């Protein structure tokens, strides 16, 4: 049940982040909330699925983009915020083992 709730919340948040215009100026000042999340990971590629689910939406987006950029297998992938790729990674991260690296989840979607 917790995973389904996290999945629904993540999907909704990613969908909403795609609406509206360029929000980069407002999200850049918010930072990570709490001690876990993308702020503790280097470039987002060391983040686990559990940390990904607990991270803020901007940190999740950055972690996916970092993992895409670091993986040659993902060349040409459109990882735009709120896009299908970001949503699929969020869904897979919510259903993955909590210790699965987010880079592995991203690679499975490339």
Is 12 domain-assigned? yes
Is 24 domain-assigned? no
Domain count, the chain: 1
Domain that includes residue 76, residue range: 2-16+44-109
Is 56 domain-assigned? yes
End-to-end CA separation in angstroms for the chain: 28
Kindly report the pTM of this predicted structure. 0.61
- pLDDT at position 16: 47
Take residue 30 and report the two structure tokens written for it.
Answer: 């918010």
Residue 110 DSSP symbol? -
| Separation CA 79–CA 70 (nearest Å) | 13
pLDDT string in tens for the chain (110-residue length)? 455 545 555 555 555 455 544 444 444 434 444 444 434 434 456 899 999 999 999 999 999 999 999 999 999 999 999 899 999 999 999 999 999 999 999 999 99
Is 31 domain-assigned? no
- pLDDT at position 46: 82
Each as own residue / partner, the long-range contacts of residues 38-41 (CB below 8 Å, 24 or more positions apart, any chain) are 38/62, 38/63
């Amino acid at each position: 049940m917790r995973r389904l709730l996290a999945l629904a919340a993540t999907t909704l948040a990613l969908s909403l982040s795609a609406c509206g215009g360029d929000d980069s100026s407002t999200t850049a000042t918010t930072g990570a909330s709490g001690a876990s999340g993308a702020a503790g990971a280097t470039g987002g590629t060391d983040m686990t699925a559990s940390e990904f689910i607990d991270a803020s939406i901007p940190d999740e987006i950055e972690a996916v983009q970092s993992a895409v950029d670091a993986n040659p297998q993902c060349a040409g992938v459109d990882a735009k915020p709120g896009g299908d790729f970001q949503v699929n990674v969020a869904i897979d991260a919510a259903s993955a083992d909590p210790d699965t690296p987010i880079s592995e989840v991203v690679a499975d979607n490339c």
